[in-house]
């Protein structure tokens, strides 16, 4: 099964995805099912707190199922003729919205069939039905996502009555909302009471990279000092790797934003644009690091154009230098598999275009996949399995392996994480300090420290939203 989570629009004719470009300014509407949050684990509690913090951001519109500071969803008893269950959203003493759940008898029958698999010791029919009513109220009010920890809802997501309300646990929901806010330009946090901290796209990605590439700063600073001592061009190469990583994160997010939109040939074409670009960026980051290593270890042959971690002549030269740890990393099977996963996509740009296909049945909305061409199929399948699992990489094959499908967002998310892990390790193992004099003050390479409490506050929130 594909591991990503997906927006569900209310109508194939009038999609209501908050990622739709023409709706880019509409707030994302979420329902907090607070009565289901009892017993939440630590990560879910953090996500719930983050969601409540985001209610102060204009791009998020929230209602709650419990009385408090937020507008509250209220569900009444059936009206006299039994045709409707009245629902309303109340903020203090003021009514904001009034609506109703139609055809409750049909809903009761649907509820009965949907919760059968949830029956277990401790099953509470009344609680399950109340959760189901909350889900239908979320649907009738046309909210985008229901944030819940109800097992009666989350364990029955394949049921059309429940799937249509887009139920997500808090940790899933906060990451989707984080993606939305990044594509809209930034985050806003209340760092201290009545003190709001704004993060634009540039500062968000800078913060993300500091977490994902913790050793890259020292690597770049060492290159800068080495260049001042005569290693011409090495700083720009090291910084180029970082810039390409920044752009790779943005390309990943663009694929994600398109993934959550209603799918069409137009969205698939846009996804492939960013997918091809992502592969080029990641290959470029590794090539820049290989050229840094060439300067650090004084490798003259091959020339710069033929320098790369997949070039045998360069690897042989690396082996003959003092770069033992770096050589061992880039020649192991694990690294070679990752290079296959990037380069097979990058190299396909010189040959036939990989086709995209739509997958849809009567219960589900259209989904988009890339069809892996036969020459690349076996290598991609085997490399992905050795670096995790086919599921983690969003790969699906049919029974006789005649066709291999790739879900682009799942693949892109995993590819970026795996590549960043190796890029950071290469930065650690490339001993740029060998270009510095023996008496060089290594404290010059350390990052300047600032308020650690403030730094941790920012790190936790940006990390949670990614």
**CA of residue 442 relative to chain centroid, distance:** 36
Residues 163 and 276 in one domain: no
What does the pLDDT look like over 41-70, one tens digit per residue? 999 999 998 888 887 776 788 889 988 888
What does the pLDDT look like over 338-388, one tens digit per residue? 999 999 888 777 778 888 888 765 456 678 899 999 889 999 999 999 999
Tokens for 414? 């995993």
| Position 242 in a domain | yes
Radius of gyration of the chain (CA): 26
DSSP state string for 214-259: TTHHHHHHHHHHHHHTT-TTHHHHHHHHHHHHHHHHHHHHHHHHHH
Residue 8 above 60 pLDDT?
no
The pLDDT assigned to 64 comes to 92
Torsion of CA 214, 216, 222, 224, to 10 degrees: -130
The pLDDT assigned to 220 comes to 93
What does the pLDDT look like over 142-181, one tens digit per residue? 888 899 999 888 888 777 777 778 889 999 999 988 888 8
> Would you say 288 and 296 are in contact if contact means Cβ atoms under 8 Å apart?
no
Residues 162 and 244 in one domain: no
Residues 97 and 175 in one domain: yes
Residues 158 and 261 in one domain: no
Domain ends where: 161, 196, 231? 196
Residues 184 and 287 in one domain: no
Residues 358 and 386 in one domain: yes
In total, how many domains does the chain have?
2
Residues 175 and 257 in one domain: no
First-to-last C-alpha distance (Å) of the chain: 22
What's the mean pLDDT in 286-296? 95
The pLDDT assigned to 290 comes to 96
Domain ends where: 143, 166, 196? 196
Domain ends where: 196, 225, 241? 196
| Position 380 in a domain | yes
Residues 75 and 115 in one domain: yes
**CA of residue 281 relative to chain centroid, distance:** 18
What does the pLDDT look like over 84-114, one tens digit per residue? 888 888 887 776 767 777 776 777 776 776 6
The pLDDT assigned to 25 comes to 66
| Position 153 in a domain | yes
The pLDDT assigned to 99 comes to 79
Residues 243 and 385 in one domain: yes
Long-range contacts of 33-40 (CB under 8 A, 24+ apart): 33/65, 33/131, 33/134, 33/146, 33/147, 33/148, 33/149, 33/150, 34/64, 34/65, 34/66, 34/68, 35/65, 35/66, 35/130, 36/131, 36/148, 36/149, 36/150, 37/149, 37/170, 39/149, 40/149, 40/170
| Position 205 in a domain | no
What's the mean pLDDT in 307-335? 93
Q: Which domain holds residue 255?
A: 213-435
The pLDDT assigned to 248 comes to 97
| Position 442 in a domain | no
Residues 170 and 226 in one domain: no
Q: Which of 230-244, 363-377, 445-459 has the lowest mean pLDDT?
A: 445-459
| Position 454 in a domain | no
> Would you say 408 and 370 are in contact if contact means Cβ atoms under 8 Å apart?
yes
Residue 204 above 90 pLDDT?
no
Phi-psi region of 86 (alpha: psi -120 to 50; beta: other; left: phi over 0): beta
Rounded Cα distance, 253 and 177, in Å: 12
The SS3 call for residue 56 is coil
The pLDDT assigned to 5 comes to 35
Element (H, E) at 46: helix 42-54
Query: What is the pTM assigned to this prediction?
Result: 0.85
What mean pLDDT is reported for the chain?
83
Rounded Cα distance, 159 and 147, in Å: 17
Would you tell me how many other CB atoms lie within 10 Å of the CB of residue 461?
Answer: 23
Residues 308 and 345 in one domain: yes
Residues 48 and 175 in one domain: yes
| Position 86 in a domain | yes
The pLDDT assigned to 310 comes to 92
Tell which wins on pLDDT, 208 or 461.
Answer: 208
Tokens for 173? 């929901």
| Position 453 in a domain | no
What does the pLDDT look like over 412-437, one tens digit per residue? 999 999 999 999 999 999 999 998 88
């Amino acid at each position: 099964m594909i591991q990503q989570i997906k927006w569900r629009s209310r109508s194939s004719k009038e999609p209501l995805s908050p990622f739709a470009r023409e709706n880019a300014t509409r707030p994302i509407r979420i329902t907090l099912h607070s009565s289901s949050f009892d017993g939440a684990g630590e990560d879910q509690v953090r996500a719930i707190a983050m969601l409540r913090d985001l209610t102060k951001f204009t791009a998020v519109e929230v209602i709650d199922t419990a009385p408090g500071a937020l507008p509250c969803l209220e569900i009444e008893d059936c009206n006299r003729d039994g045709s409707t269950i009245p629902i309303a959203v109340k903020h203090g003493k003021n009514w904001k919205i009034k609506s109703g759940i139609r055809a409750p008898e049909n809903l009761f029958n649907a509820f009965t069939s949907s919760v059968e698999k949830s029956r277990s010791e401790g099953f509470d029919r009344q609680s399950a039905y109340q959760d189901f009513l909350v889900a239908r109220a979320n649907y009738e009010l046309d909210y985008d996502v229901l944030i819940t920890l109800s097992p009666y809802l989350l364990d029955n997501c394949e049921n059309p009555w429940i799937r249509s309300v887009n139920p997500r646990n808090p940790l899933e929901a906060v990451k989707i909302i984080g993606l939305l806010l990044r594509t809209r330009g930034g985050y806003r946090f209340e760092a201290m009471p009545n003190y709001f901290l704004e993060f634009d796209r540039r500062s968000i990605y800078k913060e993300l990279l500091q977490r994902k590439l913790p050793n890259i700063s020292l690597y770049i600073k060492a290159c800068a000092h080495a260049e001042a001592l005569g290693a011409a061009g090495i700083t720009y190469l090291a910084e180029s790797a970082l810039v390409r990583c920044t752009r790779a994160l943005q390309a990943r997010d663009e694929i994600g934003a398109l993934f959550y939109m209603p799918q069409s040939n137009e969205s698939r074409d846009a996804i492939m644009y960013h997918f091809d670009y992502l592969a080029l960026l990641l290959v470029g980051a590794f090539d820049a690091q290989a050229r840094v290593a060439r300067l650090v270890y004084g490798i003259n042959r091959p020339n710069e154009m033929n320098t790369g971690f997949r070039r045998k002549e360069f690897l042989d030269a690396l082996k003959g230098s003092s770069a033992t740890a770096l050589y061992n990393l880039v020649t192991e099977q694990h690294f070679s598999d990752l290079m296959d996963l990037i380069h097979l996509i990058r190299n396909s740009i010189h040959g036939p275009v990989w086709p995209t296909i739509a997958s849809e049945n009567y219960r589900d909305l259209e989904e988009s996949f890339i069809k892996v061409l036969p020459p690349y199929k076996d290598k991609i399948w085997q490399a992905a399995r050795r670096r995790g699992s086919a599921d983690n990489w969003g790969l699906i094959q049919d029974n006789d392996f005649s066709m291999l499908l790739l879900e682009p967002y799942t693949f892109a998310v995993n590819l970026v994480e795996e590549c960043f892990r190796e890029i950071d390790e290469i930065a650690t193992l490339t001993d740029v300090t060998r270009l510095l004099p023996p008496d060089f003050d290594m404290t010059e390479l350390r990052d300047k420290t600032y308020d650690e409490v403030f730094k941790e506050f920012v790190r936790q929130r940006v990390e949670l939203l990614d």
